[in-house]
Amino acid sequence: MADFQEIVEHIIGHLRKVVPPGTEIAAESRIVGDLGLDSLVVMNFVMALEDDFDVSLTMDSLAKVETVGDLARTLEALTKR
Amino acid sequence: MSILDKFAPLGQSYAQLRELGADPFAVTFDSMRSPVEATIDGRPVLVFGSNNYLGLTFDPRMVESGIEALRTYGAGTTGSRIANGTYLGHTSLEHKLAEFFGRRSAMVFTTGYQANLAMISTLAGRDDVLLLDADSHASIYDGSRLSAAQVIRFRHNDPDDLARRLRRLEGQPGDRLIVVEGIYSMLGDRARMAEIAQVKRETGATLLVDEAHSLGVLGANGRGAAEEAGVEDDADFVVGTFSKSLGGIGGFCVSNLPDFDILRVCCRPYMFTASLPPSVVATVQRGLERMVEQPELRQTLHRNAHRLYDGLSAAGFILGPEPGPIVSVRLPDVAVAATFWTALLQEGVYVNLALPPATPDSHPLLRTSVTAAHTDAQVDRAIATLTKIGAALGVLETNNG
């Protein structure tokens, strides 16, 4: 569907709605560590991404996600199935 | 350096809570004078946070059954169900549960937590997919972690999201096990059972319903949310607990699946823990009988639930979506919630304080629960006390409605 960079941009678009204005977000940004999001906010934004890409992320795969890039790679792999 | 260092942030949060005067995790009841009256630090309190929905904990017949079993069978079984821990009482209780639910089989576990842990971890194998409601109880999440299956969450109480996720799995091998709760423990909202059952039928998935908070509460016979929605045939497994409406402790699962009993030799949380003490088993079995004998308890519970919900709603509190045995008050932040909870206790009303991340969103909750044993006067006193403190703390919505 989309390539890695497009997915990263898409994720960043979602994240902008939940982080303070002006926060720098890149593929290397750690979603919890750098952006300070709590688990509930993360869950909601992941569910929105799942809708956008029409995929379901397993809890196991999410547990391995640390950065925006990790999440993009996980989504990319699922959309290419 | 210590192995406990990783808990330092949690320790700081807990210390902050205690600085506000609240230590909700260290409340000790000195005595229980009735199902709804206790003393804490020598002072009388009304208990509005107990899960004792039918108020059966002091039922004289239940207490006598327990005493008799204690004398007859001793203090404990000192063994697991598959070794020396199955007594006549355990099998008798299983037969009675199966009969009550109109099912072929029943298994009894030592706690409700273990019932979910056991069933979910065992039913969902390596090639299977578990579909959990996002607001599931910790026992469901922990069961899923113990399972080798893939675990997918769907939006809370959202049958359409569940259906979408099942559709995405089309073509993938393995069984799908959907897990929902009859009543959700934090906000007290009911599962949309009819629609969830329909999704289950259309997709060929298996459905497990945890009726922990709905046993004895919902349905014409108190069998729970599946009975109320008329979809019991779709609930392949019904899990529940004895520690709420039945006033004891323990868990169970009932099912119509013919090979159900094979689970007795592969469910690890069933096999590798000591069985319930005979006195508890006897108490619970009598409790099940008392529940069936007294359907009016359920009506009283619902009347009390509506009284509390309507009273708090009229006062301007933000509550969960519907009246029920759990009535949760949403508060803006942890500091207000802790101050509120402490003030309530000082005024002689005990409720549960639920803090994020255990709550469905980032708001803390004062989680109150009503029972059939509360009188109108006690419910009114709880409403008045909450309202007085709520007004003082400025958390009432002035433009309510």
Structure tokens at B124: 């969902």
Which chain A positions have a beta carbon within 8 Å of B152's beta carbon? 56-59
User: Interior CA angle at B394 toward B183 and B333, to 5°?
Assistant: 55
> What's the residue count for chain A?
81
Q: Is B169 on the interface with A (CB under 8 A)?
A: yes
Residue A41: per-residue pLDDT: 82
φ/ψ (deg, to 5) at B210:
-90, 110
Q: Which A residues in the span 34-63 are in contact with B, Cβ-Cβ below 8 Å?
A: 38-41, 43, 47, 51, 54-60
The residue extents of the domains of chain A are: 4-79
Residue B401: per-residue pLDDT: 41
Domains (range + CATH), chain B: 5-54+295-393 (3.90.1150.10), 60-293 (3.40.640.10)
Tell me, what amino acid is at B269? P
DSSP string, B149-174: SEEEEE-TT-HHHHHHHHHHTTT--S
The whole-model pTM stands at: 0.96
Longest dimension (CA), chain B: 63
Q: Are A56 and B151 in contact (CB under 8 A)?
A: no
Tens digit of each residue's pLDDT, chain B (401 residues) = 899 999 999 999 999 999 988 898 999 999 999 999 999 999 999 999 999 999 999 999 999 999 999 999 999 999 999 999 999 999 999 999 999 999 999 999 999 999 999 999 999 999 999 999 999 999 999 999 999 999 999 999 999 999 999 999 999 999 999 999 999 999 999 999 999 999 999 999 999 999 999 999 999 999 999 999 999 999 999 999 999 999 999 999 999 999 999 999 999 999 999 999 999 999 999 999 999 999 999 999 999 999 999 999 999 999 999 999 999 999 999 999 999 999 999 999 999 999 988 888 889 999 999 999 999 999 999 999 999 999 999 999 864 44
Superfamily of domain A4-79, CATH level 4: ACP-like (1.10.1200.10)
Q: Is B136 on the interface with A (CB under 8 A)?
A: no
Which chain B positions have a beta carbon within 8 Å of A59's beta carbon? 144, 151-153
DSSP string, B192-213: -HHHHHHHHHHHT-EEEEE-TT
Answer with the residue of higher pLDDT: B151 or A21: B151
Flag if A56 and B144 touch (Cβ within 8 Å): no
Q: What is the DSSP letter of B78?
A: -
B164: region left, alpha or beta (phi > 0 left; psi from -120 to 50 alpha): alpha
User: Which tens digit of pLDDT belongs to each residue from A38-81?
Assistant: 877 888 889 999 999 999 999 999 999 999 999 999 999 999 87
User: Which tens digit of pLDDT belongs to each residue from B258-302?
Assistant: 999 999 999 999 999 999 999 999 999 999 999 999 999 999 999
Taking the C-alpha atoms of residue B122 and residue B260, their distance in angstroms, rounded to an integer, is 12
Quick one: which of B227, B161, B160, B222 has its CA closest to B193? B227
Highest mean pLDDT among A21-30, A32-41, B375-384: B375-384
Alpha-helical runs (H) found in B41-87? 60-73
Strands (E), B233-323: 237-241, 251-255
Q: Is B96 a catalytic residue?
A: no
If you measure CA to CA, which chain B residue comes closest to A53?
B168
| Whole-Å CA distances, A25 to A11, A47, B67, B377 | 10, 19, 64, 56
- B37-40 and B31-34 strand pairing: antiparallel
According to DSSP, the residues that pair with B327 across neighbouring strands are B368
A35 pLDDT above the threshold of 90: no
Q: Is B357 on the interface with A (CB under 8 A)?
A: yes
The catalytically annotated residue of B139, B185, B245, B275 is B185
CA-CA-CA-CA torsion sign (B39, B44, B47, B53) = positive
Residue reference for tokens 């096999």: B271
Q: Give residues with Cβ within 8 angstroms of B49, minimum separation 6.
A: B350, B351, B352, B367, B368, B369
The catalytically annotated residue of A3, A34, A38, A54 is A38
